[in-house]
Structure 1
Amino acid sequence: MKINGHTRMAAVVANPIKHSISPFVHNYAFEKTGVNGVYVAWEVTRKDLKMTIENIRRFNMFGVNLSMPYKQAVIPYLDEIDPVARLIGSVNTVVHRNGRLIGYNTDGKGFFQSLPSFAIKGKKMTILGAGGAAMAIIGQGALDGVAAVDVFTRTASLEKAQKRIEAIEQETGVPIRIFSLEDQLLLQERIQDAELFVNATGVGMNGRALPITSEFIFPQEIIVADMIYQPFESPFLKLAASQGIQTVNGLGMLLYQGAEAFKLWTGKTMPSQEIWQKLEEMYK
């Protein structure tokens, strides 16, 4: 990578963010596609977020990615919001286009692209969690024609999540039901006719905890996915794999949501398979 007077910048904005692998992914893509760009990680405080977003225009940047806790907080500082991001109520990518800042959410697209030989249209999905990542998956699934969604989240989060879920349901016509994650018997019952089961909570990042009971039985034809990729095989995925279930971790979602952002910024296709092989070597 050669940085010169024509190099344009992109960044990931969050707090904390120094652990991010996005600079590796995007800088590799810039180099391989011949785009004169550089991607950095900016650890920004809440009071500096507005100025950080203004700097996208000031420095003629490609744009930025957003991670926690700024996916909702960034919205007032943008000129336009893509319909998907508006439906979800969350922005993870800002694109600088002709002096305007446009917000997108590529998380849901990235997630479904990470699933091998699986199309969500006409299928039923059960998802654990109702945070930003979960809503992106629910919203994108609804737009892509999922038959129905069951959401299980902590009892304390039910009321807040219900409002966002109702908005997605009304906009798309997809039936979405929300239940307490503490009711594990109901979860075991509801999962029996699902074709996709997703853990979109952070439970399991320590390599020990499970978002479900250890006695949980998975239907044999289901695909089980976890947003976690550190560890590479979470306890949730280990339990599913021990029952012969096909599993997918969160590394693919991270890569493919980045690929969507890269294309929005540059018009180029990220060499995703090549980068995937590098990431597998890093994280396995």
Structure 2
Amino acid sequence: MEFYGLFGETLSHSLSPELHKKIYQITGIDAAYKTFAFPKTHLKQAVESIRLLSLHGVNVTIPYKEKIIPYLDALDPFAEKIGAVNTVQNKNGKLIGYNTDYAGFGHIFTRRNWNLKDKSAVILGTGGAAKIVEAYLINQRIKQIVIVSRSPEKYTNTEKTTYTNYTNTSALSGDYLINTTPVGMFPNIESAPVNDAIIQQFSTLIDLIYNPQETKLLSLGHQHNKHTANGLDMLVGQAVRAVEIWENLSIEETIIDELIEIFQKERVDINEN
């Protein structure tokens, strides 16, 4: 049996153990998965424990997707280019960082046939997830991106991407508003990263949070008849791609669709009880 896990700071809300258990059941993989929550000061020791505990691999979530990089032995070229890691493989004691969030994020658009060419988007946040979102949007030929940061002066504007701060959000509008911050995540479910007036200035709202399934941001979007999507597609997609790396196999796209449907129903059942 192989052992895997999830590194993060606060993981009580995570669906990853349940999700990976289901992936292993469907694919017949003999593996186990658990969460490893720890403070930022223990990141180096946590990475060292991957070898010590003979973990075959780990996923990485907030706030360590960028911070973990200096402690790894090597990076996949794409992860190196993006500057964010969400998957680590322990290959005979060598720790290699990958990023499967990109593929996961793409499922949000491909499953809904949403088009990005010549569109505009506003991204809330500048962490590892925001880097993935920006890269995907640019590769899908989006016209313009505005990224909202608490410290926009730290970043350099490009031909397609400009940075601004949260005090200027009232002037923003566009086709897509994408939240990559943890604002609105369980248990702080009554919070939203922007107010109702700003939400009305966009056609489609995407929140990478998956717990709760309908965040305050998405709830406000529904009230104004906006198209919405949460982060469940991304969660399932990135998890399946991580398993493919760890186990050196290919998993059919239909399994991703099956898993999304399973967890959509399970989350609805939980919310109704």
Contact (CA 8 Å) 2:104, 2:238: kept in 1 or not? yes
Q: How many residues align?
A: 261
Q: Give the share of equivalent positions with the same residue, in percent.
A: 32
Q: Deviations over 1:248-276 (max 9, x none)?
A: 01222222221221222222317222222
Give me the CA root mean square deviation: 2.5
- Return the match for 2:179 from 199, 206, 214: 199
Q: Deviations over 1:120-141 (max 9, x none)?
A: 3543221122223222211333
Contact (CA 8 Å) 1:80, 1:101: kept in 2 or not? yes
CA gap 1:231/1:18 in 2 versus in 1, 3 angstroms? closer
**Counterpart-to-counterpart distance in 2, 1:217 and 1:32:** 39
**Counterpart-to-counterpart distance in 1, 2:103 and 2:194:** 26
**Counterpart-to-counterpart distance in 2, 1:59 and 1:110:** 28
Q: Which residue of 2 aligns with 1:183?
A: 168
Q: Which residue of 2 aligns with 1:264?
A: 245
Structure 1: runs of 5+ lacking an equivalent: 1-6
Q: What amino acid sits opposite 2:168 in the alignment?
A: D
- Return the match for 1:243 from 224, 227, 236: 224
Q: Deviations over 1:1-49 (max 9, x none)?
A: xxxxxx1111111223243211111111112111121111122455554
Contact (CA 8 Å) 1:90, 1:105: kept in 2 or not? yes
Shift of 1:240: 1.8
- Return the match for 1:226 from 189, 207, 218: 207
- Relative to the length of structure 1, the TM-score reads 0.80
SS in 1 for 2:21: helix
Contact (CA 8 Å) 2:199, 2:220: kept in 1 or not? no
1:131 aligns with 2:113: no
CA gap 1:159/1:84 in 2 versus in 1, 3 angstroms? farther
SS in 2 for 1:223: strand
Contact (CA 8 Å) 1:108, 1:141: kept in 2 or not? no
CA gap 1:237/1:95 in 2 versus in 1, 3 angstroms? same
**Counterpart-to-counterpart distance in 1, 2:211 and 2:10:** 16
Shift of 1:230: 2.7
- Relative to the length of structure 2, the TM-score reads 0.83
1:101 aligns with 2:95: yes
